[in-house]
Structure 1
Amino acid sequence: MYVIAIGWLYVTLLMAATEENLTAGVLTFVFYGLAPLALLLWLFGTPQRRRKRLAREMVDDVVGQDDGADARRDQ
């Protein structure tokens, strides 16, 4: 997946280099390269973020449970 992203950035960088002025080159790189790629990587990363969040919640639930093994102040 990252190979495709690097290739896409390379192509858009070359497209930006052929623009007539600096502003057009920067805008080409940002709007054809960075913005769509950031959106694509964010969308494809959503399932992994969801799995990590659920795993973290499961660990928090297990850690937060009282097993009755530790003594309290009044015992």
Structure 2
Amino acid sequence: MYLVVIGWLYVVMMMAVAEASNTTGTVLGAIVTFFLYGLLPVALVVYLMRTPQRRKEIKAREAVEDQARRAAAAETTTPPDSAQPDAGGHAAGAAQADGIAAVRKEP
């Protein structure tokens, strides 16, 4: 693909040189020819032709980041024994003292 791009830019450069060296041509016309026939279309074609490759690179980068995120999450998780804080069989809270009355709604 890049060989075609290089060849087309060479042809356009020769067109620009011919434009500049012609008796009725100008250097400004040569610059416009080079940009409008050469750089802009080639940049567009190269951008469009690289789209699948860019998508693959983005997916590969996201896969590596996801794998690193999963590995970091696996390292920070607690072991299965301490996953449940109240697994000891004891009451979850302390018993209330007998001297404190329950709060009720008044009729």
Question: Residue by residue, what CA displacement relative to the aligned partner does 1:13-56 show, whole Å, maximum 9, x if unpaired?
Answer: 01111111100000000000000000000000010000000000
Say how many residue pairs are matched.
71
The match for 1:54 is 59
Cα distance in structure 2, aligned partners of 1:13 and 1:25 = 9
Higher helix share: 1
- TM-score, structure 1 normalization: 0.88
The match for 2:10 is 10
Whether 1:32 and 2:30 are equivalent positions in the alignment is no
Which fold has the larger relative contact order, with Cα–Cα distance below 8 Å and residues 6 or more apart in sequence? 1
- TM-score, structure 2 normalization: 0.63
Cα distance in structure 1, aligned partners of 2:2 and 2:57 = 20
Give the ranges of 4+ consecutive aligned residues of structure 1 lying more than 4 Å apart after TM superposition: none
Secondary structure of residue in 2 paired with 1:18: helix
- Between the aligned residues of both structures, percent identity stands at 42
Structure 2: runs of 5+ lacking an equivalent: 20-24, 79-107
The match for 2:28 is 23
